Amino acid sequence: MCSSELSAMETIFVVTANRFFRESLIRLFRSDKGFRVTGAADCAPLLEGQDIRVHPGIVVLRPEWDDQSFQSARAIHDAVPHTKILMIGMEDDQEMFLRAVRAGAEGYMLRDASAKQMLAAAHRLEQNGVVCPPHLERALFHLIASGSSLQSTRPPSAAELTPREHQLTSLLVQGLANKEIAGRLNLSLQTVKNHVHSILQKTQLKNRAMLVQLVESRAPVSGTQGKLSSRLSAPF
């Protein structure tokens, strides 16, 4: 392929912690002659290193369900403002949609979006359009028309864990090390470490041993203490 053909193709960078989805998305966008996949990562912070030098036209971001996902989108937007962010696999939730908009996303696709719809969304972003479900688009217009701001209406709660963080907490209580959790949930080890760090921050605890004690004090689990005793020192 000649250089002129390459320059005419929109560049795509894929970010998702799930390896299966990451590889599937790479194959999907490579199947379209209008796109060129320049790279992929399991977490957005990798874009802040040497990978950001490729300045992708579009970052396709399939986030985990925690605040870090929106922080990652914001970090990408701040680092490369001209790069368009397409968030996929999202919930049909007005508040989550508004958070994505505030983070700099220009595309918001729900979980049930087909491969064809994802390609169409990327092409729309390429043409400087925006993408979101019609009912959420109306909600955004109504919000602005009412004079309300885009600030979150939910009060922040340091102790509020996401569904994914609750899932990890239950595995931590069972005594699983980070590597075992990564294998069970099909996540990278670094992603698991990030989640553990986030859980400890939200619960304001210093280590996983204290987390286990907190969980057991609220919902005692018989027969687990001996199993945990030799494994609580597992590295983050």
Q: Say whether both 120 and 185 belong to one domain.
A: no
Q: Say whether both 57 and 99 belong to one domain.
A: yes
Q: What is the CATH number of the domain that holds 169?
A: 1.10.10.10
Q: Say whether both 116 and 189 belong to one domain.
A: no
Q: Say whether both 38 and 79 belong to one domain.
A: yes
pLDDT of residue 218: 61
Residue 150 domain-assigned (yes or no): no
Q: Say whether both 97 and 53 belong to one domain.
A: yes
pLDDT bracket for residue 76 (50, 70, 90): confident
pLDDT of residue 79: 81
Residue 109 domain-assigned (yes or no): yes
Among candidate residues 70, 76, 64, the one with its CA nearest the CA of residue 192: 64
CB atoms within 10 A of CB 37: 19
Half-sphere exposure of 136 (CA within 13 A, CB side): 21
> How many angstroms separate the CA atoms of 23 and 113, rounded?
17
Domain span at 67:
3-145
Q: Say whether both 129 and 210 belong to one domain.
A: no
Residue 156 domain-assigned (yes or no): no
Say what percent of the chain tops pLDDT 70. Answer: 75
Name the token pair of 178: 């980070």
Q: Are 63 and 39 in contact (CB under 8 A)?
A: no
Residue 151 domain-assigned (yes or no): no
pLDDT of residue 233: 35
Q: Say whether both 132 and 100 belong to one domain.
A: yes
Residue 153 domain-assigned (yes or no): no
pLDDT average, residue stretch 185-190: 88
Residue 152 domain-assigned (yes or no): no
Q: Are 150 and 98 in contact (CB under 8 A)?
A: yes
Q: What is the CA angle 185-44-122, rounded to 5?
A: 100
Strand partners, 10: 35
pLDDT average, residue stretch 36-52: 68
Q: Say whether both 30 and 137 belong to one domain.
A: yes
> How many angstroms separate the CA atoms of 177 and 89, rounded?
28
How do residues 143-177 score in pLDDT, each as one tens digit?
A: 777 766 555 444 444 447 777 888 888 898 888 99
Domain count for the chain, please give it.
2
pLDDT average, residue stretch 80-87: 91
Strand partners, 61: 15, 87
Tokens 């619960």 identify what position?
203
Q: Are 107 and 130 in contact (CB under 8 A)?
A: yes
> How many angstroms separate the CA atoms of 161 and 2, rounded?
50
- Whats the size of the chain, residue-wise? 236
How do residues 2-13 score in pLDDT, each as one tens digit?
A: 554 555 689 999
Residue 122 domain-assigned (yes or no): yes
Tokens 């605040």 identify what position?
67
Q: Say whether both 30 and 129 belong to one domain.
A: yes
Q: Say whether both 100 and 191 belong to one domain.
A: no
Name the token pair of 213: 């004690």
Q: Say whether both 118 and 168 belong to one domain.
A: no
| CA end-to-end span of the chain | 45
Tokens 């907490």 identify what position?
169
DSSP string, 60-93: EEE--SSHHHHHHHHHHHHH-TTSEEEEEEE-S-
Q: Say whether both 139 and 172 belong to one domain.
A: no
Residues in Cβ contact with 31 at an 8 Å cutoff, skipping those fewer than 6 apart: none
| Residue type, position 109, single letter | M
Q: Are 139 and 97 in contact (CB under 8 A)?
A: yes
Q: Which of 115, 145, 175 is the last residue of a domain?
A: 145
